[in-house]
Structures are given as structure tokens and as C-alpha cells.
Amino acid sequence: MKRLLMIALLFVAALSSANAQTEEYITIGINGGVVNNINGYRQDPEEEDPIVKEYKNGMPGYNVAIDLGIRTTDKTRFRIEVEHEEFHYKAIWDTAQIPAASYCPLKTKVKVWNMGVNLRFDYKIAESEKWKVFVSPGLLWEFNIDRESKNFLRTEEDNILTYSRRRVSYKNYKEIAYQNPNHILGGNVQLLCKYKIAKHIALTLTPEYYIYFRPIVKDNTAPYMRMTLNGGVEFNF
């Protein structure tokens, strides 16, 4: 946290000279919404144990973020944003190829929690008395903070009857969650729509598209992408 605060202070100091001839103001935004990952998991099952039939997206994830922005001209603004994401995927096991004695899961559900630091440049493309619309390209560095796997097994009776014959178990198998990287870099573009509800307060709606500079799992051939839709509130001073 201290490191992030230091980055924010340096960000403000670096831009202060650029604001000398402009009507400067500072914005603080808070937003959150849904995350949909594209190619956000291994595409092909492994050729060796454990046998997985297929990987799928899980339920939609979510993200929350806070950002600090500085206006540089009438149409431009720089922002630094810190965001938190949770997303899900699942593996469907090929139970026909693994003996019941191995505590074979029916499926494995995975949750991944990441933090990201996003540098954004906002360019105003439309304005009215109440509305402002910006297009905002950005650069994101995202890193993992935690992950969790949960295995759903065949019936407990089946496990008890066969476990004594073979000491092999996937009951607590966790490696699927660790197929995701510890950090990843990507670019994004956001459409930021602001609706003014008071002198210093606006509501925001921000659809956004991300594309990352490498696959999220090394064996993937398709690029890792993400779509988000966030709503929030922005304060300006």
C-alpha cells in the first residue's frame, strides 16, 4: 500500500507542471462491475494425468477499482487506477479414464484474485451540460494475490469402497489453479460516460475491452482478452 501511495504522489508531481496554463482539477473515481474472460484458461486438456475432458469459463467475475485523475487540458486527463478482480473457470474431468479408487473429481472449480495498476489517458470526444464522454486507452500490469480450487467428487460411498485398494488420490488436487501466471501485462481501451448530478459529483458508466500481451496459460494459442462493464461515481475538485 505504501508503494502504491508513493506512485500516486509521484504521478501528481510529474504532471503538476503540465497544468500550469490550464484550468486544473483533480478527480477521484470509485467503480465496480462484471468481468467476462475470453481464453482465460487452458484450452486443451493435458495429455497425461490428471485427465481433464475440457475447460470452461465459470460464472462471471467482478472487479472494483479506485482512480486518481489530473486534468491537463480542456480535453485531456491522465489517471492512475488500482483495481481488484475475481474471476472463475472450471475443469470437467474425464471420469471414464480414471479409476474410482483415485478419488476422481467430477469437476474442479477455480477462483482467481488479481490486483492491477492501470495507467490511463482520457480524451474527451463529446460534451453537453450534463454529459461528458471520453475514450481512454490504458496500460495495465496485473498480478495474482490468491487463488482457490474446489474439487467436486463422485459419491463418498464409491470412494470408501475402493480407496483401500489403491493409494492414489486427486481428492485435493490444486494444480489447475496454478496454471495461471503470477503477473501479466496488457493494454485496454475504455469508453467513459459521465453524467453530472451535482457540482462536484458525477455518475459513470464504463464498458471496456482488454487484450493481454501473452496468453494467460503458456499452452494457449489464442490471446487472452477480457470485457468489463462498470458503474461508479466520480468526485472532482
Q: Where do the domains of the chain lie, and which CATH numbers do they carry?
A: 26-236 (2.40.160.20)
Task: Give the pLDDT mean for 208-230.
Answer: 89
- Cis peptide before 105, with omega less than 30 degrees from 0? no
Query: Is a pLDDT exceeding 80 seen at residue 87?
Result: yes
CA distances (Å), origin 85, targets 116, 133, 145, 169, 188: 8, 25, 10, 32, 15
Length of the chain in residues, anyone? 237
Question: Cell digits for 117?
Answer: 495498476
Taking only the tens place, the pLDDT of each residue in 100-157 is 555 677 888 999 999 999 999 999 999 999 999 999 999 999 999 999 988 887 655 4
Q: Are β-strands 26-38 and 52-57 bridged in parallel, bridged antiparallel, or unpaired?
A: unpaired
Closest CA to 81 of 114, 120, 113: 120
Question: Cell digits for 75?
Answer: 480535453
Distance CA 23, CA 55 (A): 52
Confidence of residue 49 (pLDDT cuts 50, 70, 90): low
